[in-house]
Every structure is written in C-alpha cells, then in structure tokens.
C-alpha cells in the first residue's frame, strides 16, 4: 500500500526521490519521508501529510545533497499517521535506515525480545522493529548488511518490500520483497528502487522485478547480486524492457488523473481488443486461451476471484460467461475466499482479476487454488506483476498506467477481456449461433466509438452533479448485466465524494431499500431499452410515487422513462451483454463532478490507496 523509492548513482538523489514519491502517492499519502547520505552522515526528514509537505519541510531542515537516498510515502497500518510513525526509520544506533511496505505480523514478540536486549522504540510501527532486528543480527554476529537482512527476514512473518541503507557501507542499498512489489531500475552506473516502475521510467527502460523471497544487494560500480532469502542461492536476474512511457503517467492537460483516465477509455478498450478481435474474419485470437482451451472447455465451473472494482467486473463476466458459453460461474471476494475453506476441484478454472496484479488477497486466493490443483488464469493490467507470474496463464488488459485511486478504465478493459474470452469459449462450444457470434464481434468492435459518444454526456452529468452534490445518500439500481454497474457506480460515488451510496438489483427495492425513498433521496436507475425494460419502468414508477428523485441512464431515443425521470442521461444503443461498457461512463462522470464540487481530493481520496498489497 505504501510507496518506496530509492536511488544510488551519480545524480542528486533528492529530486529523483521526491519526484518518484509524487508518482507513488496513489499508493498512500498519510505521511512521507526521505533520508539522504551526504558523504558523511545520514540526513532525515519526514512529516505527516503529502509529499508536497515533505518537500517544503525537508528543504528547510536538512541538506538535500547526496547521491544515495531512500524515500517513502505511507498508508498507515501500524500506528496513526504522524511525524514519528512516518518512514524512513532509524535503528537505535542511527547507522541503519529503512523504508518498508507491508505488515510484519509477529512484530510484537520480536519487539519484546529486542526491548529485553536494551533496544528503545520511538514509534508504534512494525518497521522500527524490523530495522532494529536487522541491527541486532548484524551486531551480534558481526555481519555485513546483506547477510544481516537475510537472517532477520527469515525470522519475520508477514509481507514486506524493503530498502535498507547502512552508513558504514555508503555505496550499497539492500532491497528485498515478500508479498509486496518491488522493482529495480538499471541505468548506466546507477540504480533505482521503487514499488513500481513509474518513478524511474524517464531515466531507464531496463527493469528487474524482484520475486517473492528474493533480496538484491545493489552496489555502486559493482554487479548487483540477487539471492534467495531462504537458502542464500544466487538468482540470475531477468531484465525487462518497460513498455510504459512518461506521457502515460502525466495528466496531459486534464485537471485530474481520474478525468484523464475516464476519457482514455475509447482508446484503451480498442488497445485491449487490438490483435485479438478480428470481426471481419469472425475470429478471436488470444494465446492464453488457445494454449489452454481444453482446460476451459472441460471445466466444471469457473470461479472468479477479485476485490473492489475488479469484483464488479467479475460479476458482469458471470452474466456474460453463463449467457454465451453456458459454463457455471461463481464470483468470490478474494478476501473471503481465502479464509472460508472453499471447495476447489481440479476441474475448476479460477480467473483472478486485478488491475495492479499485486492485490494481496487475490494473490493468496491464487496460491490456494493452485494448491488444490485448479487451473488459474490471470487478468491484470501491469506487465510483470506478481499475479501475471503466479498464474498458469493469463491475458493483459492494455489500459496503460491507472494513477487515480478510483478505478475507471481498468473496469471497462477488464470487461472487454472477459467478454472476448466468453465469446471464444462460446464459439468453441457451439453455444452461440454463428450469426450471433459474428453480431457480437461486430458490436464489440463498435464499442470504442460508442464510449466516445457516451463521454459527450459530460455536461449533463455535471449539471446533475450540481443539484445533488450535497445529498447525504444515494441509491443505484440496475438489472441483469447492469446490476454490477449499479454497484460500481455506488462505489465510485462513495470512494471519491464520501457520500453514502448503495447499489441494488432493481427488483430488490421492495425487499427493504424502498423504505429509504423520500423527496431527499436521489436514485440513479440504469434503464436500458433491453430485456426486463418493462420491469425497470415499474421500479421507477414505484420510486416516483414516493417522491424519490430519479436520475435515469437510458438508451438514446427513450421516451417512456424520460416521462417519469427527473433527469435523463442518454447513451448509445448496444446489445444487452455489452451495455455495461457504456452505462458505466455517465456514472463515472457523475461521481467525478460531485467530488470536484465538494472539493474532495479526486485522485487521492481519504483512507484509500490504489493497490491493496497488505491484508
């Protein structure tokens, strides 16, 4: 959840670290800190607040010279956000400095042992325990830093990505990971360390992603060594060439990353099906599916595991898979799946969905499924991420970097990939007629153009936002394919505007939620001209008769709902199964504008982080 940046090389480390931390603030923004080695001593500055607060404070209180340093932006787990609990942390001697992303689960007994040996603790964090454990091991056996880190990490239980510096070894940083991501950028006579590649993309395109239970000893003017933490065996590092570019991680003239990413959806949906969807030829080509087609065709069922927005994409996929390919589907919260002793069989296919590819609960669910002999297929956005490496096969969404904490383009590209898979399986099984299969391919090819038209509802969404920005509550209703979109719309609103919102299947209104309806309650209804349209019209009439305020997302040309609703947002017509790719667009825009009008931090909502890499 936290963001780590480190640098060792010939440049001034401070600007590299500060700029990198700003790019990682989506991972956490409770507090931030930096430590630099100026050639003689360590210089530390840290503060509660954002990286901009750190930038101001550090320039006032320390010398920012030096070509070696580590920095951190925090999402609090142990200890409230304050200056003392901020990272980096020193060891008791002041010789070691550490930054850490993750949770050390057995920190309390370790802390008691260290206190008994005379160590003093100033923060409430598990990280300060870890750096003092490393120091204790180092002193007791007179070890070099790398060996001390290795021995200490074999004593801890939990998840970590760390970077450690020892002022007695001023040309070396030791980095390690288990369960939390860590990337190393390799330049000419310089190295970069970060939670993802965005902090160093402008300096190098060569990147090594550490695997779980690996540590790297990064030394100036010497070859980097990567070792297994458990058995000390050497690892031959695999250097990847990054596909990301600097333009992708900048705002590009938009006020917020979220708005930029909403408007990127026509392009990224096209990027996601490019090379896979061949509508004119009536073909879908996906290597991860073709190479494992029999696994899918012989599956007793498909289990989808995910969290948050990815879980909503999985719910949409449940409707699509069962409708097209007639394979039973169950959708599970990864966080519940891993703890409830689920029934997993060898003939199950598990699809794990994650934007970052680093979601801790989803990774744990993958490992559990593999232990039971299931075939695991990953759908994620980040090349080289943990999920892409842990799964048997997979497919990338090609959404590009998603910086805004509230996910937008990841949702629509995940649905695009999952739709392609369902259609390919339907073709192989013969569960769709040839004419229907071709019709769906042609309609999917038109989706980017129709999403572009849906984005033209921006001004309407903004006008509606101005009316309801102060509403304390909001309901979202949908049926069939668009029930998950109602859930996703409600999630977007509460994530970034802090308005309480709930999504429901429209038919469930009479089973409780209708009690909430009065003249103060805005109700967003996804009312597409599709199957069950008459039913949703009836639901709208029930709300209307109780004075609820109706915001309806309708198919262009609709007159029946328009006559009932207080506000109407029209989107282009498409087939039922693909409608979530369009209906979600005005809901994203509505949430965005409400949040902006409420003066909320759209890209960095309170208490949230982009990638949930801890439990």
Bridge partners of residue 238, in order along the sequence:
none
How far apart, in Å, are the Cα atoms of 338 and each of 103, 201, 281? 18, 35, 42
Residue whose tokens read 């909502």 = 605
Please choose, from the candidates 189, 192, 244, 181, the residue with its C-alpha nearest in 3D space to the C-alpha of residue 214: 181
Q: How many residues in the chain?
A: 615
Pairwise CA distance, residues 247 & 378, whole Å = 27
Residue 218, C-beta contacts closer than 8 angstroms, at least 6 positions apart: 8, 172, 173, 174, 175, 184, 191, 193, 224
Phi, psi of 400 (to 5 degrees): 75, 175
Instruction: Name the catalytic one among 43, 57, 549, 610.
Output: 610
Pairwise CA distance, residues 485 & 478, whole Å = 7
Joined tokens for residue 479: 């049926």
Q: How far is CA 50 from the centre of its chain?
A: 20
Joined tokens for residue 516: 């909430």
263 CB-contact burial (10 Å; exposed 0-12 / middle 13-18 / buried 19+):
buried
Please choose, from the candidates 67, 312, 290, the residue with its C-alpha nearest in 3D space to the C-alpha of residue 173: 67
- Let me know the angle formed at the C-alpha of 72 by 160 and 46, rounded to the nearest 5 degrees: 130
Pairwise CA distance, residues 111 & 89, whole Å = 15
* CB-based contact 65:17 (threshold 8 Å): no
* DSSP class of 155: T
Residue 347, C-beta contacts closer than 8 angstroms, at least 6 positions apart: 298, 299, 300
DSSP assignment of 266-329: HHHHHHHHTTTEETTTTEE--HHHHTTHHHHHT-SEEEEEE-HHHHHHHHHHHHHHHHHT---E
How far apart, in Å, are the Cα atoms of 97 and each of 11, 151, 159, 411, 475? 20, 17, 19, 39, 49
Instruction: Name the catalytic one among 2, 207, 380, 474.
Output: 2
User: Is 549 an active-site residue?
Assistant: no
> Helix, strand, or coil here: 245?
coil
User: Is 380 an active-site residue?
Assistant: no
Residues labelled as active-site residues: 2, 610
């Amino acid at each position: 959840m936290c963001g780590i940046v480190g640098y060792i090389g010939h440049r001034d480390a401070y600007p590299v670290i500060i700029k990198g931390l700003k790019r990682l603030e989506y991972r956490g923004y409770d507090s931030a800190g930096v430590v630099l080695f100026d050639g003689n001593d360590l210089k530390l500055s840290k503060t509660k607040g954002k990286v901009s607060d750190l930038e101001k404070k550090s320039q006032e209180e320390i010398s920012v010279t030096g070509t070696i340093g580590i920095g951190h932006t925090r999402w609090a787990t142990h200890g409230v956000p304050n200056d003392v609990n901020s990272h980096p942390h020193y060891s008791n001697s002041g010789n070691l400095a550490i930054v850490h992303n993750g949770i050390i689960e057995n920190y309390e007994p370790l802390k008691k042992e260290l206190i008994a040996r005379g160590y003093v603790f100033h923060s409430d964090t598990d990280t300060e325990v870890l750096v003092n454990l490393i120091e204790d091991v180092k002193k007791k056996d007179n070890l070099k830093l790398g060996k001390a880190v290795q021995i200490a990490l074999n004593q801890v239980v939990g998840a970590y990505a760390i970077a450690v510096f020892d002022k007695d070894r001023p040309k070396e940083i030791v980095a390690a990971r288990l369960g939390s991501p860590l990337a190393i950028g390799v330049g000419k006579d310089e190295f970069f360390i970060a939670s993802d590649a965005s902090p160093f993309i402008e300096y190098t395109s060569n990147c090594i992603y550490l695997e779980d239970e690996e540590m790297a000893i990064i030394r100036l003017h010497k070859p980097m060594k990567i070792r297994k933490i458990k058995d000390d065996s050497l690892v031959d590092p695999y250097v990847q060439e990054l596909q990301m570019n600097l333009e992708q991680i900048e705002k590009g003239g938009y006020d917020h990353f979220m708005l930029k990413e909403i408007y990127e959806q026509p392009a990224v949906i096209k990027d996601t099906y490019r090379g896979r969807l061949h509508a004119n030829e009536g073909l879908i080509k996906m290597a991860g599916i073709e190479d494992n087609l029999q696994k899918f065709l012989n599956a007793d069922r498909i289990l989808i595991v995910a969290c948050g927005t990815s879980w909503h994409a999985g719910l949409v996929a449940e409707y699509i898979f069962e409708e097209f390919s007639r394979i039973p589907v169950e959708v599970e919260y990864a966080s519940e799946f891993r703890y409830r002793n689920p029934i997993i069989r060898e003939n199950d296919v598990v699809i794990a969905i994650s934007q970052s590819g680093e979601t801790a609960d989803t990774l744990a669910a993958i490992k559990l499924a593999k232990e039971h002999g299931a075939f695991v297929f990953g759908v994620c956005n980040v090349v080289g991420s943990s999920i892409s490496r842990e799964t048997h096969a997979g497919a990338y969404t090609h959404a590009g970097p998603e910086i805004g904490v509230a996910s937008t383009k990841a949702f629509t590209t995940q649905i695009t990939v999952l739709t392609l898979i369902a259609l390919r399986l339907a073709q192989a099984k013969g569960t769709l007629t040839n004419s229907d299969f071709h019709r769906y391919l042609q309609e999917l090819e038109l989706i980017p153009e129709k999403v572009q038209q849906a984005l033209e509802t921006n001004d309407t969404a903004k006008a509606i936002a101005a009316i309801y920005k102060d509403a304390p509550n909001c309901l979202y209703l949908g049926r069939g394919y668009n029930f998950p979109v109602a859930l996703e719309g409600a999630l977007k609103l509460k994530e970034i505007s802090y308005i309480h919102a709930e999504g429901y299947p429209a038919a469930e209104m009479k089973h409780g939620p209708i009690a909430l309806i009065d003249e103060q309650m805005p109700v967003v209804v996804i009312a597409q001209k599709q199957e069950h349209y008459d039913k949703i019209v009836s639901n709208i009439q029930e709300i209307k008769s109780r004075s609820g305020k109706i915001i309806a997302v309708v198919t262009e040309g609709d007159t029946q709902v328009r006559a009932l609703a207080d506000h109407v947002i029209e989107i282009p017509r498409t087939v039922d199964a693909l409608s979530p790719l369009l209906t979600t667009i005005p809901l994203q825009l509505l949430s965005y504008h409400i949040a902006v009008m409420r003066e909320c931090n759209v890209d960095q909502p309170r208490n949230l982080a982009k990638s949930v890499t801890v439990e």
